[in-house]
Structure 1
Amino acid sequence: MFSYRHAFHAGNHADVLKHLVLVATLRHLMQKDAPLTLIDTHAGAGVYRIDGEAARTSGEALAGIGRLQPEHAGTPAPADVLADYLGLLAGFNRSAPAGAAWRVYPGSPLLMHALMSEPTRAAVRDRLRLFELHPSDFRALAAHVAQLHAGRQVQVERRDGFDGLKALLPPPASAGGSRRALVLIDPSYEIKSDYARVATAIQDALQRFATGVYLVWHPIIARPEAHALPRRLKTLARQAGRAWLHATLHVGQVAAGGLSASGMFVINPPHTLAAALRDALPRVRDALARGPNANWHVDTSD
């Protein structure tokens, strides 16, 4: 159950897709001056060394974010989600020598915290709730969160995130009475039952809080459960009367046993998300492609 370690995969093409979608979604949600409850059900260690032994062993960061780093230059335009994402990563690597490869890659928890603590957003007091069950990753995550000095604004719990999510929905109302939440569900899928648990968690979440924004990362692999999951999520969204978006990225041929494609499924996506991804993903595909079969798709319920 605990064999998967994201340190070997941090900064790969799947992280690029996941975090592009996450950043673009949060940027839109944070335009509204009302607090958000941000929930990461499988938070991992929080931040990863991509110049360390694990990353060098796999080579996935070098073939992923390493190919995109040279595109970062200057202050990004607000509408350019790729430049925005790369700019956030650059902020975590300020200590790296000019022109040197980045040394660290922030996981979803630290990216979310970076956005919620920006000067233009900090006064809103968003809340971040993190779950991680792996003992080593939980200890690392707790240590990284402690360094943020965020107090109770960020809470970490060693618990199964599928179970922990139930207690947080619906989210508490703000002083103005609004209830807003973004949920990221990103298990390792190292056990087959994760696919069914994702679908069950989304079904339950929509019953508890239909207006939440739900982001689900999934691998695209030759397994029946993997093929069925996006179809199941579409069905659940339609049954709840909610809009959906499905973005996929395929980088082409990879080494035997490696992951070549993944997807992000979003329920209640911002109306700006499809256009932002259709602008960014061709550039990502071109940078990360490994042969002529690389492709991307953005499908919506519209």
Structure 2
Amino acid sequence: MNYRHAFHAGNHADVLKHVALLALCDALTVKPAPLFALDTHAGRGLYALDGNSALRTGEAEGGIARLIAEAPKHPAVARYLAAVRACRVAHGAAAYPGSPWLLAHALREDDRIAACELQPEEAAQLKHNFAGDARVAVHARDGYTAMKALLPPKIGAQRYNRGLVLIDPPFEAQLDEFDTALGALREALSRWPQACYALWYPIKRRRALQPFYRRAATLPAKSVLTAELLVRADDSPLRMNGSGLLLLNPPWQLDRTLEAVLPLLARALGETADAAAPVNWLAQAEA
């Protein structure tokens, strides 16, 4: 695997993913019972936007930098920007938080986080970044196999009935990655059916995703939601025109939060008039 998220940290896909991730955490922590979160493709968890990798692509300029400048008014945006500011207070003015950092920031003392990273250098840095946080266990392993090994979660005598699994693969295998991810989700749901699952995916040509949508709708989850952010038309195979999250068993009213905030992100980050932010139910539990 050659992918390094440092080249893409803070881009429009990260904005979508991390706004939604914090909204998920806030919805799940309303109830007092402790949570378990699994981040299957965690990367190093903390990035420097003034580093060579980020500067080489400049992708953060069209993501977090533009959002800070625009600062659309919505509680979910304010929550995200506050988390980025907190990260920068702790780690420097050019720091950007990856998903493990945001999970650790948003969850509570009695919650637990497992962060998986297969690439040795990234895993070593991830372990270093969270060495002082007893809530975070770093696993240098494949995230898909971890979904079998770590679910349902039990740490000591504590069993976790509620929680979140974030699956954020690099999609180096392109469309074949969807097969792997959907298979892993089906297996995980059989082990921990009550959890919330969030799968990030890139969008190039939307019509190529139709088989994925159809298969996702058949997963054995109570409800299946997609939330997407497109910064340009979804018809070019040469670049990532946007991205989405497949959400299984999303918390109550998360769809309303996303329906309100994602159009604001599309207006702030959109590069053409074709920018859009569709939120769609693929399967919905009966009221």
TM-score computed with the length of structure 2 as normaliser = 0.90
Q: How does 1:20-169 map to 2 (within 5 A)?
A: 20-72=19-71, 80-94=75-89, 102-116=93-107, 121-122=108-109, 125-146=110-131, 149-151=132-134, 153-169=135-151
1:11 matches 2:2 = no
Contact persistence 1:218–1:226 (CA under 8 A): no
Q: Residues 245-284 of structure 1 correspond to what in structure 2 (within 5 A)? A: 245-252=225-232, 257-284=238-265
- Partner amino acid, structure 2, of 1:242: K
Structure 1 Cα separation of the partners of residues 9 and 36 of structure 2 = 25
Aligned Cα root-mean-square deviation (Å): 2.5
Q: Once the two structures are superposed, what CA deviation does each residue of 1:52-75 show, in whole Å capped at 9, x if it has no partner?
A: 2211111110111110113559xx
Question: Which whole-Å CA distance do the structure 2 matches of 1:5 and 1:165 have between them?
Answer: 22
Shift of 1:173: 8.2
Contact in 1 for aligned 2:152/2:160 (Cα 8 Å): no
* Corresponding letter in the other structure for 1:126: D
Structure 1 range deviating more: 29-38 or 185-194: 185-194
Question: In the alignment, what sits opposite 2:266?
Answer: 285
- Between the aligned partners of 1:142 and 1:96, the Cα distance in structure 2 is 16
Amino acid aligned to 1:245:
L
| Residues 253 and 290 in structure 1, CA contact (< 8 A), matched pair in contact too | no
SS, match of residue 181 in structure 1: strand
TM-score normalised by length of structure 1: 0.86
Alpha-carbon contact 2:232-2:275 (below 8 Å) kept:
yes
| Paired AA for residue 86 in structure 1 | L
Change (3 A) 1:141 1:93: same
The corresponding residue for 1:242 is: 222
Deviations 1:173-230 (A, max 9, x none): 8979761121001100101432211011000011111111000000112388644323
Distance 1:134 1:274, change over 3 A: same
Give yes or no for contact 2:178–2:212 (8 Å, CA) kept in 1: yes
Aligned to 1:235, the other structure's residue is in SS state coil
Structure 1: gaps (5+ residues): none
The 3 A distance-change label for structure 1 pair 173 and 131 is: closer
Identify the residue that residue 217 of structure 1 maps to in structure 2: 200
CA deviation vs aligned residue, 1:265-292 (integer Å, no higher than 9, x gap): 1000011211111111111111111111
- Provide the C-alpha distance between the structure 2 equivalents of 1:15 and 1:39, rounded to a whole number of angstroms: 18
CA contact (8 A) 2:153 2:159 kept: no
SS of equivalent residue, structure 1 residue 128: strand
Change (3 A) 1:188 1:96: closer
What is the alpha-carbon distance in structure 1 between the residues aligned to residue 57 and residue 263 of structure 2? 25
In structure 1, the residue corresponding to 2:147 is in which secondary structure? helix
Measure, in 1, the Cα distance between the counterparts of 2:205 and 2:272. 20
1:202 counterpart SS class: helix
Identity of aligned residues (%): 38
Q: CA deviation at 1:260?
A: 1.3
